[in-house]
Every structure is written in structure tokens, then in C-alpha cells.
Chains A and B, each alone.
Chain A
């Protein structure tokens, strides 16, 4: 069996000073067996350290002495040696596939294996394919649509905002539903990627089935995403790369079709409300129209610079990366700036029995981020100001904070927000260090001892300032006179995996056995204060110069401190055995015992397991000569646990098994003692049992490649709120009860339509179909509003059905439970299960990659079908109650009147306007389809062929244009169809267009 190192062989980049005589230049082109140019083929002069590699078009050029031997090597191809004669000046090579050599190495969890020997469902995306150079601040956003079954939704356009990640459906109701993220062996916070530089990433592997995730035990239930960052190569001369990207972001449009001032004032006049109530027609005609979107929304600029240095000697490699990223959000006062540093080092001892590596990244980011986004706070949410402000009020109407506080109405919302913009500041600084070190020693033949230790440190510092003499203070009582808060949040996690692995091969058999322990500890330390009262002469964010001191009259100016301390920990031991026969049959088994601090007093240890098998059908002799180049059948079954049964943090719900009292203010604010927690003494893991059957195939000379996986996941012991009678002082108590099924299909297809020396055109299609089913709902009726019903889908909407407008009187019409039309539905008894939920049935992407002599176009269309969401924003735009205060949709111009009886818009004064339908959440009137097809990513670029660069000293030069969210086709009328939950004046994710270039020397 080949050593791991050989298996991991990647195209070598070797370039050294050459010192020879009788030199000549040999150039040529390297292709694979079907004539496709092979980029990155290592071309080395045997016996020297001189070498180069082929460019994007398979061309190379090297200086060599007559009589020397050139060696061409490439992963998965047989190595070719050619002696140079005096007459050789062009040498074209057609390489042959190497059946023995392994085409690809894939991540298996704590180890890697050749793809042919992999029995698990996993997808690996290399950075070069579709990760690098994209203008998203967070790499997680970039993953959307690229992996079958991976659902990524980003509800905020704040640069670097967290995304929700779910793999193959939602596996928990109250617990964590996001996969475990591991960067270079370090488990990291899955909600925070804003400080990390996506340009450092080499590849991302998504592990899906039980065979892959069982080894992660109680953290693997939602799948695992393994991120590997770039490293240098052994025997590689220093290579320097610079990538620069400039871009701009713009707000996507919406289809709410809002009124202009004349329309708005006229409808106000009609309803005798707001400013329009007292105006003459001439005054209405003369009113200005100022679109507040232009005030609160801007085009944001992005710049992104990354410089990398990589090199390697015989026994050591290094990779260093320095990055600077600066992105303005499209919303005023929102941005992200960050500095990144990374250093990855590997090395090995002279006898190669000892290997080690370290990965270190230190990052600093500063982000301005408005708060109260997504709320209805008219004095704090800028988005509300942009979307809902009446247009007849202009910034010129702003009279200053104090006068505005004395005389304002809801219609003055934009002025309140203008004031807030002038006086409010929220700045988040973050230092993030992710470091890991690994070492491995061959203690005996075939036996290695390994250790990987890693830490993730996040130190966030939030400074919030409300300057004195702002509108809020004048309005709510000027005595407080501004305020300032500072909050320091630190989280340190340490993880260590120690193992002993045995690897052997005899005859047609090979065996890999490992015994592991894993130790995890996390520490949270928060501290902060709030100072009320700032002197307008001397205040400054982050400084105490302007603090008004406490006096004897009142306690307004006493600073209020806060502090939190939490610890969390896990411990596990586990084993895995992987057996292969003749690269035809394989079997992998895993058993793992886990302990979590959460269950220390109830169920300390949980046991998880998996079995996975494969049959490489295409390696059977009877398959010789078939169209299948690869045909592999995989099957796995197993369990994984979710110990984060509540909340999104590893620190939440640390001791639910205990009955607790707390102290704090009671009557009159005096210290008091009260019950804070009713215990659950039977607490345990949620367990996800997953069955997966999959096929990997390549046919027609590997022109069509793909895989199909069918899975079923069953979450048992769901930790969910179980209703209890209110006499217990709570109405729900969380308990491990009920089951949730996710069943679906993942598929991944690539087809090379054109594949020749100059041109390559590939179509790709990624898809997932997933359906959920609830069972064993913990109450007598088998249904819980807000969660669903037995046999139904998760989070199914339970709504009174809205059917339209009564032509007789303009009232809203609903259906009662029996399907009879009614104007006065009973919310309790007339609501029905709608069969709709906010999760997609179909999700994925399609697109093409086109290459032609260095010129390339890449598209990625994401799609999602079967999502239904409540459009609260639309509800607000057509709610007649808001006329006079906010801007409304032109849809209201079509409202029912005695002369306009056949319409879908109820009368502006409908008698049952405030009944079920108007409440928005209560009927299905605003429950709308959020299906979409979106050109999520478009890349157009050109890589200069090697021949143009000869003699310039430049090894690599490319320019590219990238677009994110370029085009969206949807019936959804709001800004951003991709929001996970129902939204109200949320920060939409922008369209980003960028231009960049990459240069390597």
C-alpha cells in the first residue's frame, strides 16, 4: 500500500535556480488520454531540483540539458519519463490513466481515504472551482447551492452576517440544526465566519451520511463540514500570489409598487387621516416626492486584497497569507473591515516517521452594524425608514432633535431615523484566532500515534453609543441624556483528538483500524456595562470623559455592569475499522461513546455507531468494456447524537436536570428569591438515525459523472416543548419526546458537452428533494400549533383560510373549518393545517462552466421550490390602518368600492379589517410562495496563456468579473426571497458585482 504521503501527492510546483550548461528550452503540451489539456502537471528534470508545471492549457516550457530526463507526473496518471536529445525542442505528452494510482483523496472524518475506497456520502468542493475570488464576506454564503442537500439561508445583508446552514432537512425542533464546522482539525463556532478569509481555503468537504458522521458522535447529527486551508508543497520554490478585487453592492428591488406623494396624500384625504386629510387638491399636487430608500440605502463598495507566499524544502513547507477586506453594506452605517493573517507549516523528520503541522490564523475585524433591524421600531430600524416612510416628508423637514420630540407623528418616522443616524453608533471589533497543531509518529511498522490539538478564540468587543441630546432622550425624558454601552464577549474552545492507527495491506486485503479519544472544553466570559448620561461637550464612543457622575437626587447615572461565566465540555472515546478487498468491496464500522456536561446528572454517556459498505462494481471483471468508467454502490446505516438540544450555543441550557432557584429583584426592586427552573431529570441526547444508499458513476469516457443518494433520517428523543398545564407556572416544559423524519434524495450530475484541447463546456446539476414528517407529538391530539401534527410536515402553518373579498360589501371572506364562507372566522376552531411550511421541497443549483483558451464563463443558478413564507412587509404595505402614517402599495388603489366590486383588495374600511385576515399572522392571506430561481453566481474571466507571459517573470495572470445574486425569478414581491423566516423590514442580501485580477510570480 502506498503511503499516505504519496496518496496526497498534488501537482508539484518546483522552480529553482538552474546552473547548467548546454542548455536548451523544451516546450510542449500535456494532455490526458482523451486529449484534454492537463494543467498543473509537474515537469521535473530528474536528478535536479529544476522543474515547472503546465499552465491552464496544458502548456509548459522548461530549460534543460541535452541527455537529461524530463519527468511528467500528475495525480491519477502514469508518470512519463523522456530523455532530451539535441534535436528535441517540442515534446507533447499524452498521459495515460493510472488504474493503480488513486484519482482523488477524500475526507473520511478524522482521516482521509482514496475515493475508490470511500464508502461514505460526501461532497468536496475545491476552492478553485467555485469558492475563491467571490465577493461574499463569509464563506458560508458562497456554499449556497453548491452541495446537494445543503440549505443555506442568509437573512441579513450586513457584511459578514451569519447564515443558517442545514444539511438534508431540519433535524431538530429546539436544538441546534447546523452542521459541525471543522477548520484544519479545529471545531469552530458555526455562526461566525465574518473574520475569516475565504481566500485561504483549499477545499470544503461536506459529510452527509451516518457512515461519515458517526465518528463525530454527539456533534455530528446535523452533518459535518470540513474545511481545509492551503498549504505549501515540499520541494517548491517560493511562489507569490496577489489577488485584488473591487466590487460594489446594490439593493435588490422589490415589487411592492409603492405610492408617490400625490397618490399617498389623496388616499389619506379619502380616509380623512394623516397630512392629506386637510389638503386641497392643488396642495396635494404640489407636494414633493422624496424616496427615502435613497437616503438610507446606498451602493456599497468592496475591496479585497490577498497576498500569499508558499514554499517548501525537502522536509518542510510553509504557506503564508495576508488579507485585507473592506466591504460597505448597502444600508447606511453598516460595513465590515478585516485584516487576516495565516501561516500553515508542515514538516517531517529525516526518516519520515514523524510528521507535524501547524495552522494558525489571526484575524481582526471591525464592523459597524445598525441594531433593531427586522423590528417594527420606528425610531431605530433604518430599513423601516427606507421601506415605509411617506414620500411627502423630506430631509429638509427635520427641525432638530428637540423640536422633533415636541411635535411628531408616526408619519415622521424618517425624521426620527435621520436623527438616530446622526446620534447612534454600534461598532463591533473582533479578534479571532484559530490555531491547530497535529503530530503523528510511526511507533512501529504500520502503527502510528497521532494527536491533533486545536483552539478557537473569539474576542468580541461591542461599543454602542447613543449621543446625548438625541430625539429618543428628548422624547423619553432628557434626564438620561445619552448612553453608552461596552460589552466584551470572549469564547475560548479547546479540542484534542488523540489516536493510535494501524494501517496494513497484504495480498488483496487492506485494513485501517483506529482508536481515538476526544476532549473538548469551552469557556465563555462576558463583561460589560452601560452608562446612562453623557455630557454633550466631552462624550466620545469608548471613552469615559463625558460620563455624568451619580448624584444624591436620583440613580439615573449609576453605570450598570453585567458579567457572565459559563463552561462547557465533552469527552469521547471511539474506534473505527475500515477493511477493503481488492478495491472491490469495503466495510467500515464505527463505535463511539460520548459524554456531555449537559447530561452529567442524567444520562452521562451515549453510544453512537455506524456501518458502511461499498461495492466498486466497475472494478469487477464482468464490467470490462462497459460504458461505466466508474460504478460504485454505497450503503450506510448508523446514528449520531445532538447534544445541543436547545438554543444555538454550546453554552445554553447547561444544567436542565436541576431544580433551581434564583435571586434578583422582586417587589419594589428588593432582593428576592424565586423559582427559575423546573428540572427535567431524564434529559438525554437527541439521536439521528440515518440510512443512506448511494451510487457514484462515470460513463461515456467519464463525460457524464455524478452520484445519487437516497436517505432517511429519523430524529428520536426530540427535545421539544411539551405542553403542560399552566398551573405549573410554565405552559411548556422541554422533554425528549417525539420523532422527526427527513427523507430525500441528493443528486449531483456533471456532463462534459464539449471536451477538447481548446474548449471545455460542462453542464452541472445539483439537487435535493427533502420531506419532513413528524411523529409522536407529545399531546393527546397529536398536534401542536407552531410545530405540526402527527404525519405532517415540520413547522406546518396552521391558518384560517382567506378566500377574497365580498363583492357585496368589500369585507374579507374566510372559510370556516367546514369550508363554508364566513366573514367572521373563529381563530381557534376555523384554522386548518395548510400543508405548507417554510422549508424547501426542492433545492439546488444548475449551471455551466465554459473554458476556451483561457477564457471562461461560469454560472450557478440556485433554485428552491416548495417554500411558503408570511410576507409581513407586504401586509404592512396594504394595511389601510397605516394610511396617514406610512407609505402604502398602489394595490390599495384597487380596493373595493361600490363602483369597484370585483377586486382582490378589501375595502379600505372593511368592517372585519381587524379580524383574522388583517392580523397577518392569523390567516393565510399573506402566506405566499417563496419559490425562486436565482442567478446566484456569474463569473467571467480570462487567464493569460503561458506563452503570453514568457519572459515577463510573471507565472500567472488572470482577470475576472464576478456577480452574486445577479438575477432572481420569483413571485415573491419583497426584496429578498431567500429569508429563512418571515421577515419585517429585514436587511436584504445585496447584489454584488466585482472585478478582480490575480497575479503570480
Chain B
């Protein structure tokens, strides 16, 4: 009897223990979407999340590897060899990355913009804070759209060419959209930049934060890409006046992150942020210098991609850009053409020498006044002002080269527009090397300037791909396969050649 009683007691206990505690379990640390944004300060936290989607390392990699900036390095174990072999197709990691990363950025920006509509500022000062947050968010949305246009549009200057999918709202998961034209993209980008300008305050000068000058620099670049050279000239001239070209010492400081003379806007990269990692991934993320080496920008730092020989040959050792682009401990084989031994000719990329005691980690320069100078020069050529000591493309090139050499250089003369565009492309190649421009520059100006990808024989032997004409279809990305999986209709809008 006793046992029976105990048993009944146990049984009833078990049945009485409801099931709820096994089913209704709230995991720790969960923040529901409804509760995520409630104050302006929350929006500020959200903005930092949106910012974090902006990254230049994939551009820096791509514009180097698919052109003549880079060569396969001494410590290469197969990294980026396919890309160096000029292989790109709809399943390539790089097009996946550009497509998804920029839509991540747009999604995050749109969510923040949507959330901000429900949050009322309590006073004027909070309203200002909110405006500044929103202004930066619109800038970032414009950035995302322009990135997509830059890599997926066949022709930046053709308004009727297709760009990518335009998203200025928070989509629902069943939405399958087709590509919009460049004109639609430019309209939205300009509208977003106008909104950003009206919302941002005038006194923001921190070059690591989106500011009004960054908006103008962005507009100048867009105008140059679109070949709207009147706008490009006005904006770039203004910025060039405000941000002087750096001296040789300042210039080296810029790339060690100890000087901001020329810097209009850059993305800060610091210890403990989400980009503080080795960064040998095939596409994005990590330290910028990790694109080139395993550990750091020295000959023992494991360089697996090196300075392309043709770029190196274009560099003058008296040019400060030589010191910024090539590590001092590089091994240079003056007889490389006869020896043909890459092991003796090791040209270490030095543009990202590291900062804060961390090798390879550097801020990512988005807009520098040197680019503004070269945009202005481009505009001068377009406007027919090729030569002459003032107000000409030649004068601007001389201004830049004087600063880089630290002594006066000859004023160049250009026989025609083609020659002048070619010279600007050559100068951009040196000035903006490893900053993510070369491929886009050849795409938009290669024909006009009669330039193409030209690799030195010692570099291209590995892959048997020594040149690439700017009219090649591979100067436009394919829409990635991953998008077709969801959105097969889009296949009809695939870019030519793929």
C-alpha cells in the first residue's frame, strides 16, 4: 500500500508539472524588431550598423587583380590565380559579393530610414542629431546604388543602359524585381545626396564620417563617370581648393593613417572592429593589406600578390608614390627580363603598411583631393583645355607631379584629347593604385585614352593572360547566379558575354 501511495504521489506530480516550461522558452539576449528602434539614440546605433556594410576591400582587390596593378606573388598558394587569369562568370565569388554586399547595405539603410519615420525627436537638438543620422544614411544608400551601377552597368554614360535592381524601400521576401536603367539610378542617387546635404550640418569635418564635402566629392565622381564634366569641374575645383595636395611627407603619412591632408572621406579601420581580421578571404572583409600578404607589407610577411611589373616599371624611384606603393625591403631584379625568375624579383605592395601596431590594417580612403584634381583634369580635357600653364589638364598633371616629386617637373603637352586622356589614365594608375579604381577607369576611359590592361611578360606567364581591351565584356560584371535562383526572370537581363 505504501509503495502504491508513493507511486500515485509521483505520478500526479509528474502530470501536474505542465508542459509550458518545456515549450515556452525565451532565449536570452533577444531583441524583437518592434522594440529595436525607439529613440533617436537607437537610430544612431543603427547607423553604425549601416556604416559597417560599407567596405572597399573587394574593390581594391578586384581593380588590382583583374588589371595590371598586381602580379602573383612569391608566397602564392593558389590565391586569386583564377581571377588573375581573367576568369569571371555568374558563379564567381566576386560578383556574388558585390551584389549581396551592396544589397545588404541598401536593406540596412532602408530599414533605418523606415524606422526613423516613427521616431519623433523630443527637442531641436535631438532633431539635429536625427537629421545628421538620416543624412548619412541617405548618403550610404546612394553609395550602395552607385556601387551596383559601377559594376553591373555596361556604360556609365549611357542613361538608357541597365544598372541593377533599384531598392529605396524595405522589400518583402516575395518581391522579385528587374533591373532599372542608369537614369533611374542616377535620379535616386542624386535625390538621396540632395536629401543628405539638406540634413547634414555644415560643421562636420571629421574625415572618417560622412560630411558635406564627401557628398560633393561623391557628386564629382558620379559626374565624371557620367561624363557630365561641367558639374564635375565645378565640384572638383571647389574641393581641390579646400583640400590641398599633400607634401611628400604628408603623403606618406596619409597611408600610415597619421595624416589627413588630402582626405575628404575615409572609412576608419581599428582594433576590435568587424574588419579586424587577417582578411585573406576571396572577396571581402578583413585588413586591406591582407589582400596582398598573409601577415604584413614586408618581404617576410608572406606576399602572395605583388606589385605588377608593368606598374612598377611606370614608377619613378624619385616619385614619393614609389615609396608608398613598393616596400623598401622588396627584392628588385634589374635583369628580370633575362633571368625570367619571379623568385628573384619580389615587389611587395606597401600601400597598406598597417597602423595601430597591427600589420596590414589601414583606413580605407574613399575620396582624396588628388582624385578631385584628376577629375578636374579629365573635365579640362573634355572641355578642350589640354595644354597651357593654367586652367589646363597639363597644368593639373604638373601640379600633382610636382608635389609627388617634391621638385618642379616638366609641363606636359598633349597632341590631342586621346593622348591627354591616356596621360590622365596613366597618372590615375600611379596615384590611385591599390585604391580600387583601375578596372573602372579603364572601362570608362580606356577607349578614349587608348589604354588597356598590359601586364609584363614575367607576370602573365603564370596564366597566359597578358592584356585585356577596355571593350571586353569582362569590364562589366555578370548578374550572379545566386540571384537567378530566386529571380529567374532576371536571366533575360544578363549582361552581354555571360
* A100 interface residue (CB < 8 Å to B): no
Taking the closest CB of chain B, its distance from the CB of A79, in whole angstroms, is 32
Contact A725:B486 (CB < 8 A) given known A477-B358, A571-B23, A597-B23 = yes
Please state if B25 and A568 are interface contacts (CB–CB under 8 Å): yes
Closest 7 CB pairs of A and B: A569-B22, A571-B19, A666-B48, A674-B49, A667-B51, A723-B486, A669-B273
Neighbouring B residues of A604 by C-beta, 8 Å: 23
Residues 339-351 of chain B: 1 if any A CB is under 8 Å from the residue's CB, otherwise 0?
A: 0111100000000
Interface residues of B in 25-40 (CB under 8 A from A): 25, 27-34, 36-37
Taking the closest CB of chain B, its distance from the CB of A642, in whole angstroms, is 17
Please state if B10 and A779 are interface contacts (CB–CB under 8 Å): no
Please state if B82 and A826 are interface contacts (CB–CB under 8 Å): no
CB contact between A475 and one of B270, B272, B294 (< 8 Å): that residue: B294
Neighbouring B residues of A376 by C-beta, 8 Å: 77
* A34 interface residue (CB < 8 Å to B): no
Minimal Cβ-Cβ distance residue in B for A413:
B77
Residues 189-206 of chain A: 1 if any B CB is under 8 Å from the residue's CB, otherwise 0?
A: 000000000000000000
Please state if B486 and A662 are interface contacts (CB–CB under 8 Å): no
Please state if B482 and A672 are interface contacts (CB–CB under 8 Å): no
Minimal Cβ-Cβ distance residue in A for B478:
A828
Contact A726:B99 (CB < 8 A) given known A441-B3, A660-B33, A733-B173 = yes
Interface residues of B in 185-230 (CB under 8 A from A): 208
Neighbouring A residues of B11 by C-beta, 8 Å: 449, 451, 498
* B90 interface residue (CB < 8 Å to A): yes
Please state if B24 and A597 are interface contacts (CB–CB under 8 Å): yes
Please state if B271 and A555 are interface contacts (CB–CB under 8 Å): yes
Measured CA separation A949–B483 after assembly (Å): 76
Given A277-B343, A441-B3, 6 other A-B residues pairs in contact with their CB atoms under 8 A: A595-B23, A659-B34, A665-B272, A668-B273, A672-B46, A675-B108
Please state if A728 and B107 are interface contacts (CB–CB under 8 Å): yes
Measured CA separation A323–B268 after assembly (Å): 58
- Which secondary structure characterizes the binding site on chain A? mixed
Residues 91-121 of chain B: 1 if any A CB is under 8 Å from the residue's CB, otherwise 0?
A: 1000000011001101110010000000000
* B167 interface residue (CB < 8 Å to A): yes
Neighbouring B residues of A670 by C-beta, 8 Å: 48
* A504 interface residue (CB < 8 Å to B): no
Neighbouring A residues of B47 by C-beta, 8 Å: 667, 672
Minimal Cβ-Cβ distance residue in A for B103:
A726
Supply 27 A–B pairs (Cβ within 8 Å), ascending by A: A272-B340, A277-B343, A354-B7, A443-B8, A476-B295, A477-B358, A517-B14, A556-B357, A654-B25, A659-B34, A660-B30, A660-B33, A666-B51, A667-B48, A667-B49, A667-B267, A668-B48, A669-B270, A723-B482, A723-B485, A726-B103, A727-B177, A729-B108, A731-B482, A779-B486, A828-B89, A914-B81
CB contact between B45 and one of A498, A673, A725, A731 (< 8 Å): that residue: A673
* A4 interface residue (CB < 8 Å to B): no
By the criterion of a CB under 8 Å from any partner CB, how many residues of chain B are at the interface? 98
- Which secondary structure characterizes the binding site on chain B? loop
Please state if B173 and A672 are interface contacts (CB–CB under 8 Å): no
Contact A914:B23 (CB < 8 A) given known A272-B341, A661-B36, A727-B175 = no
Please state if B77 and A378 are interface contacts (CB–CB under 8 Å): yes
Please state if A410 and B295 are interface contacts (CB–CB under 8 Å): no
CB contact between A673 and one of B21, B37, B271 (< 8 Å): that residue: B37
Please state if A673 and B25 are interface contacts (CB–CB under 8 Å): no
Residues 58-81 of chain B: 1 if any A CB is under 8 Å from the residue's CB, otherwise 0?
A: 000000000000000011111001
Neighbouring A residues of B3 by C-beta, 8 Å: 349, 353-354, 441
* B300 interface residue (CB < 8 Å to A): yes
Residues 403-416 of chain A: 1 if any B CB is under 8 Å from the residue's CB, otherwise 0?
A: 00111111000000
* A490 interface residue (CB < 8 Å to B): no
CB contact between B300 and one of A407, A828, A915 (< 8 Å): that residue: A407
* A596 interface residue (CB < 8 Å to B): yes
* B383 interface residue (CB < 8 Å to A): no
Measured CA separation A671–B272 after assembly (Å): 11
* B42 interface residue (CB < 8 Å to A): yes
* A566 interface residue (CB < 8 Å to B): yes
Contact segment of A692-700, A780-788, A838-846: A780-788
Please state if A671 and B45 are interface contacts (CB–CB under 8 Å): yes
Please state if B7 and A439 are interface contacts (CB–CB under 8 Å): yes
Measured CA separation A712–B300 after assembly (Å): 60
* B258 interface residue (CB < 8 Å to A): no
Neighbouring B residues of A16 by C-beta, 8 Å: none
Please state if B295 and A477 are interface contacts (CB–CB under 8 Å): yes
* B85 interface residue (CB < 8 Å to A): yes
* B317 interface residue (CB < 8 Å to A): no
Neighbouring B residues of A3 by C-beta, 8 Å: none
Please state if B357 and A554 are interface contacts (CB–CB under 8 Å): yes
Neighbouring A residues of B268 by C-beta, 8 Å: 667-668
Measured CA separation A559–B34 after assembly (Å): 35
Which B residues are closer than 8 A to A by beta carbons? 3-4, 7-8, 10-11, 14-15, 17, 19, 21-25, 27-34, 36-37, 42, 45-52, 74-78, 81-82, 85, 87, 89-91, 99-100, 103-104, 106-108, 111, 165, 167, 171, 173-177, 208, 267-268, 270-274, 276, 278, 294-296, 300-302, 340-343, 356-359, 462-464, 478, 481-483, 485-488, 498
Measured CA separation A479–B498 after assembly (Å): 48
Contact A881:B108 (CB < 8 A) given known A441-B3, A451-B14, A731-B485 = no
How many contacting A-B pairs (Cβ < 8 A)? Answer: 259
Neighbouring A residues of B104 by C-beta, 8 Å: 729
Measured CA separation A519–B14 after assembly (Å): 9
Neighbouring B residues of A521 by C-beta, 8 Å: 21-22
Please state if B486 and A663 are interface contacts (CB–CB under 8 Å): no
CB contact between B208 and one of A405, A565, A668, A728 (< 8 Å): that residue: A668
Taking the closest CB of chain B, its distance from the CB of A11, in whole angstroms, is 30
Neighbouring A residues of B23 by C-beta, 8 Å: 569-571, 595-597, 600, 604
Please state if A669 and B276 are interface contacts (CB–CB under 8 Å): yes
CB contact between A519 and one of B7, B17, B81 (< 8 Å): that residue: B17
Contact A597:B22 (CB < 8 A) given known A517-B14, A668-B273, A727-B175 = yes
* A678 interface residue (CB < 8 Å to B): yes
Neighbouring B residues of A658 by C-beta, 8 Å: 30, 32
CB contact between B91 and one of A407, A726, A828, A911 (< 8 Å): that residue: A828
Neighbouring A residues of B76 by C-beta, 8 Å: 410
Residues 642-670 of chain A: 1 if any B CB is under 8 Å from the residue's CB, otherwise 0?
A: 00000000000011001111110111111
Neighbouring B residues of A569 by C-beta, 8 Å: 21-23, 25
Contact A570:B22 (CB < 8 A) given known A407-B300, A655-B27, A673-B46 = yes
Please state if B77 and A725 are interface contacts (CB–CB under 8 Å): no
Neighbouring B residues of A727 by C-beta, 8 Å: 103, 106-107, 165, 167, 171, 175, 177
Please state if A667 and B272 are interface contacts (CB–CB under 8 Å): no
Minimal Cβ-Cβ distance residue in A for B45:
A673
Minimal Cβ-Cβ distance residue in A for B34:
A659
Neighbouring A residues of B45 by C-beta, 8 Å: 663, 666, 671-673
Neighbouring A residues of B19 by C-beta, 8 Å: 519, 571, 595
Neighbouring A residues of B208 by C-beta, 8 Å: 668
Contact A451:B171 (CB < 8 A) given known A409-B75, A443-B4, A658-B30 = no
* A291 interface residue (CB < 8 Å to B): no
Please state if B36 and A673 are interface contacts (CB–CB under 8 Å): yes
Please state if A724 and B486 are interface contacts (CB–CB under 8 Å): yes
Residues 552-574 of chain A: 1 if any B CB is under 8 Å from the residue's CB, otherwise 0?
A: 00111000000001111111000
Neighbouring B residues of A239 by C-beta, 8 Å: none
Measured CA separation A353–B6 after assembly (Å): 14
Measured CA separation A349–B272 after assembly (Å): 65
Neighbouring B residues of A596 by C-beta, 8 Å: 23
CB contact between B46 and one of A272, A669, A674, A909 (< 8 Å): that residue: A674
Neighbouring A residues of B487 by C-beta, 8 Å: 723, 725
**Residue of B15, B19, B167 most packed against chain A (CB within 10 A):** B19
Residues 513-535 of chain A: 1 if any B CB is under 8 Å from the residue's CB, otherwise 0?
A: 00001011100000000000000
Taking the closest CB of chain B, its distance from the CB of A362, in whole angstroms, is 25
Taking the closest CB of chain A, its distance from the CB of B91, in whole angstroms, is 5
